[in-house]
């Protein structure tokens, strides 16, 4: 049966769709497959652990036929997520995606190095924004208002759960995503030496703006 596309909670049957969406959007918003030998390292690092560890904050865009064609995933508490990632997630995938023995020598190893260092997610500048998120839609579903709809659902869930602010980390090269985040109320968070990424944040309440803790 077909119904209109709609945002709904993630369920375990969405696992393979989640994997595909992540792989097809992981390289600065585009397809990672031409550049990676085993692009499954992306969902293992940036998608599946969120659905497994914090399913109550995992939402998908359903195409109306039961297929997930976009998602928003995240955590309400980044330091607690990092602990759970190391203790409960990493042991499940470490053999398939081993840590590089020295400096990363291939694109796959660069991502595996991130997988094995979840503590990189905790920075003092991000403390006023305890939640963080990842959002991706398959190309055919982009630019149609569904990203905004996913974001609204996610922010509401955080706000209802008592979390005041959220951050995200994006590749600075992904300028279309930056335009989207600017449009849906995110602002830049300055961190020392960010490398090739940009940190953005916003309050979870509807009107956006900086979290109360940072208003002077």
Ligand X SMILES: CC(C)(COP(=O)(O)OP(=O)(O)OC[C@H]1O[C@@H](n2cnc3c(N)ncnc32)[C@H](O)[C@@H]1OP(=O)(O)O)[C@@H](O)C(=O)NCCC(=O)NCCS
Candidate list 64, 98, 143, 209; residue touching ligand X; CB under 6 A: 143
Candidate list 75, 136, 163, 204; residue touching ligand X; CB under 6 A: 136
3-class SS of residue 47 = coil
**What is the nearest approach in angstroms of ligand X to the Cβ of residue 47?**
11
**What is the nearest approach in angstroms of ligand X to the Cβ of residue 24?**
9
> Residue 2 has which token pair?
């077909």
Candidate list 22, 41, 135, 166; residue touching ligand X; CB under 6 A: 135
Please say which residue, 94 or 184, places its beta carbon nearer to ligand X. 184
- For 57-83, letters b (16+ CB in 10 Å) and e give bbbbbbbeeeebbbbbbbbbebeebbe
Task: Give the span between the Cα atoms of 165 and 161, in whole angstroms.
Answer: 11
Candidate list 84, 115, 137, 166; residue touching ligand X; CB under 6 A: 137
The answer to whether 74 and 154 have CB atoms below 8 angstroms apart is yes
CA 24 to chain centre: 14
Task: Give the span between the Cα atoms of 216 and 144, in whole angstroms.
Answer: 37
Per-residue x/- track, 161-200, ligand X (CB under 6 A): ---------x---x-xx-xx--xx----------------
- Phi, psi (deg, nearest 5) at residue 171: -65, 125
Stretch that binds ligand X, among 35-43, 46-54, 123-131, 143-151 (CB under 6 A): 143-151
Query: Which residues contribute to the site for ligand X (CB under 6 A)?
Result: 25, 29, 135-137, 142-148, 170, 174, 176-177, 179-180, 183-184
């Amino acid at each position: 049966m077909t119904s209109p596309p709609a945002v709904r909670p993630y369920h375990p049957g969405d696992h393979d769709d989640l994997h595909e969406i992540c792989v097809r959007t992981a390289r600065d918003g585009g397809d990672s497959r031409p550049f990676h030998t085993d692009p499954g390292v992306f969902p293992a690092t940036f998608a599946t652990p969120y659905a497994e560890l914090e399913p109550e904050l995992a939402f998908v865009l359903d195409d109306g036929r039961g297929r997930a064609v976009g998602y928003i995933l995240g955590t309400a508490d980044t330091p607690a997520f990092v602990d759970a990632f190391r203790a409960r997630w990493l042991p499940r995938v470490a053999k398939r995606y081993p840590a590089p023995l020295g400096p990363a020598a291939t694109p796959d190893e660069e991502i595996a190095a991130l997988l094995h260092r979840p503590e990189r997610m905790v920075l003092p500048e991000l403390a006023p924004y305890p939640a963080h998120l990842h959002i991706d839609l398959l190309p055919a579903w982009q630019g149609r208002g569904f990203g905004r709809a996913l974001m609204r659902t996610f922010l509401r869930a955080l706000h209802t759960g008592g979390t005041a602010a959220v951050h995200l980390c994006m590749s600075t090269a992904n300028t279309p995503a930056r335009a989207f985040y600017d449009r849906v109320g995110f602002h830049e968070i300055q961190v020392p030496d960010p490398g090739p990424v940009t940190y953005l944040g916003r309050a979870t309440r509807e009107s956006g703006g900086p979290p109360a803790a940072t208003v002077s």
